[in-house]
Amino acid sequence: MGKSDDLVVYDARLSSRFLLGTARYPSPAILAEAIRTAGAEIVTVSLRREAGGSRAGESFWRLIRELGVRVLPNTAGCRTAKEAVATAQMARELFGTSWIKLEVIGEEDTLQPDVFGLVEAARILSDDGFCVFPYTTEDLVVAERLLDAGCRVLMPWAAPIGSGRGINNLFGLRALRAHFPDTPLIVDAGLGAPSQAAAVMELGFDAALLNTAVARAGDPVAMARAFSLAIEAGRAAYLSGLMEPRDMAAPSTPVLGRAFGDGFEA
Amino acid sequence: MLIGVIGAGVAGLTAAFEIARAGAPHGAEVELIEKADGPGRGCSHYAGGMIAPWCELESAEPIVATLGEEALAFWTRDIPVAKIAGSLVIAPPRDRAELTEFSRRTRRFERLDADALAALEPALAGRFSSGLYFREEAHLEPRAAMRALFERLQTMDNVRIRLCADSVPQADWIVDCRGFAARGELAELRGVKGEMLVLRSEEIELSRPVRMLHPRHPVYVVPRGQGVFMIGATMIENEERSRVTARSIVELVNSAFAIHPAFAEAEIVETGSDVRPAFPDNLPRISRQGRTLYVNGLYRHGFLLAPALARRVARFLFAGEIFPEVMNANQGEWTDARGRGADIGAPHRGIGL
């Protein structure tokens, strides 16, 4: 595939389709090794808790920055558009990037996005020059509104954050892909197994973001590799043109003309 | 010879004790230097005090359990302040998957059903239907433990203690146990913020530390006796020391409430916050620069790891032993120490104690 399959999001051209979150690893050293093994070029970082609004989290972020990856700060845990906008502005200052993964959480139990607040915050931030990566559902109308608001990328969930359930609404994700063939779609949440990541890539999604499934694995580095292979496999499969399932067996070798009895004496 | 130990937190106190004890036959003297006016004024002050080597395997490397096992003997025999009453790990019914994951990563536990759990901790009866019981683990009250260790040091003939000290003695060796304060000398050291809470409730009785697993807000409760409970602890990649946030308290209280509803009515006795010193791999390290040894990076395992590290420092000083599991032996800083660093005895390698 090489360079011709690069993914372009905003001003960046990426060869890796594996984005990694940086929370909940056993140690920063393991996180760094997982990022390297994943080949990730973008890592998400949560501003809200770790930095405390000051530069006090510096040591941790220095470790991340030394890896040479692009940092995508998020507004994890924000519950209102206002809070998310303030967090995004703080992140821009702290990390020196106008990229922001926008999360506005509407429901505490499922951490489901508040799509109304999301659209509102996306508009404010886009107008302010941010490159917004909105964490959203598979809802088509919301997706349309987010694009109207200035987003050039969408980050739909597969399932609730950290649930590891894989694709919750296959029909909805297919429809989203079909409706927005030219918008980069990065599946953001709910992937638990490499096979699930491969599945979303096979649907034609442009990239996948993982965190919990890697960070909390018994061996996060090995799991990063497993996801990396799966994402690559899923992408290659999508590009290669997957066969459609059939109701009937179709022999791959023609039966006609084959000598009777070869290998089937009984 | 004179060995100066800097810092009277749990790392420095145990180091001073083990060095003085092992060095006495060799005529070694120890001077313990502390900037504050008493022992345990740093992050050790806010520790949980769980001597739980096997529970910690949930997120720590196996070496933490190996070193931590030595702490059980230390805190029950050498400085007998710990109580072996086991640790209990539970999860709310809807988060039972967390318990399964915890059991996959840890060892030396028994599974408890509802009846066994109720028999062990009657206060939890009816609300939790399964748990893991780590029978061999212990807990202690960190402040009492450090006081006991400090008092013991005061009785030792070859130990001098200097509080409110602002200078380091001319010594043959310096053992630097300052934790996060040594950051200027240890480039890789970082701080990981932790907040804790002390509650008092006469309505709750627990006999051992209880850890409640939760995908977002895991929490532990350590009984301190007389209805006092320590609730801990947040883990935040942040180096601000003393600010306790409302959010953290809400989360800690909320989780404590899930363990026992009476915690909602408990009196808040104390809140505290400090930073744990950690290296990028979150593992402890004894490093060397010339005649200075740094004992640091104990992270969230101060009381669990300090005894094993202290003994290794003493074995290095008096027998020239190198301990690759904590000494980063391939970096060359130790090689010339063999023979020269060890003033007494033939140098050799080994990890067994």
| Tens digits of residue pLDDT in A148-197 | 999 999 999 999 988 899 999 999 999 999 999 999 999 999 999 999 99
Within this chain, do residues B114 and B145 fall inside the same structural domain, yes or no? no
Q: Do A56 and B238 make contact, defined as CB atoms within 8 angstroms? A: yes
Q: How many CB atoms lie within 10 A of CB B341?
A: 18
Instruction: Extract the tokens encoding B85.
Output: 């009453």
Q: Do B104 and A218 make contact, defined as CB atoms within 8 angstroms? A: yes
Within this chain, do residues B29 and B119 fall inside the same structural domain, yes or no? no
Instruction: Extract the tokens encoding A160.
Output: 């609730």
DSSP letters, B197-216, are EEEE-TT---SS-EEE--SS
Interchain CB contact of A65 with B (< 8 Å): no
Interchain CB contact of A236 with B (< 8 Å): no
Q: From B224, B257, B278, give the residue that closes a domain.
A: B278
Q: Do B190 and A218 make contact, defined as CB atoms within 8 angstroms? A: no
User: Which residues of chain A make contact with B280, given a CB cutoff of 8 A?
Assistant: 27-29, 32, 63
Within this chain, do residues B155 and B67 fall inside the same structural domain, yes or no? yes
| Tens digits of residue pLDDT in B8-56 | 999 999 999 999 999 999 999 999 999 999 999 999 999 999 999 999 9
Phi, psi for A165 (deg, rounded to 5)? -95, -10
Q: Is the peptide bond before B314 cis (omega within 30 degrees of 0)?
A: no
Q: Which residues contact A162 (CB under 8 A, 6 or more apart)?
A: A111, A189, A190, A211, A212, B215
What CATH number is given to the structural domain containing B297?
A: 3.50.50.60
Helix, coil or strand: residue B151:
helix
Identify the CA nearest to B242 among candidates B221, B271, B264.
B271
Within this chain, do residues B153 and B182 fall inside the same structural domain, yes or no? yes
Burial tier of A248 (Cβ tally within 10 Å: 0-12, 13-18, 19+): exposed
User: Which residues of chain A make contact with B242, given a CB cutoff of 8 A?
Assistant: none
B60 → chain A, closest CA residue:
A26
| Domain extent listing, chain A | 7-239
Within this chain, do residues B76 and B92 fall inside the same structural domain, yes or no? no
Within this chain, do residues B166 and B313 fall inside the same structural domain, yes or no? yes
Residue ranges making up the domain that contains B226: 87-135+190-278
Interchain CB contact of A52 with B (< 8 Å): yes
Distance from CA of A30 to the nearest CA of B (A): 7
Within this chain, do residues B181 and B289 fall inside the same structural domain, yes or no? yes
Phi, psi for B233 (deg, rounded to 5)? -145, 150
Q: Which CATH number fits domain A7-239: 3.20.20.70, 3.40.50.300, 3.20.20.60, 2.40.128.20?
A: 3.20.20.70
The predicted complex's ipTM stands at 0.79
Within this chain, do residues B274 and B348 fall inside the same structural domain, yes or no? no
Q: How far apart are the first and last CA of chain A?
A: 48
Which DSSP category does B58 fall into?
G
Interchain CB contact of B239 with A (< 8 Å): yes
| Tens digits of residue pLDDT in B169-213 | 899 999 999 999 999 999 899 999 999 999 999 999 999 999 999
| Tens digits of residue pLDDT in A112-149 | 999 999 999 999 999 999 999 999 999 999 999 999 99
Identify the CA nearest to B300 among candidates B280, B281, B275, B330.
B275
What pLDDT is stored for residue A263 in this prediction? 52
User: Which residues of chain B make contact with A51, given a CB cutoff of 8 A?
Assistant: 238
Q: Residue A101 catalytic? A: yes
A216 → chain B, closest CA residue:
B59
Q: From B278, B303, B320, give the residue that closes a domain.
A: B278
User: Which residues of chain A make contact with B191, given a CB cutoff of 8 A?
Assistant: 59
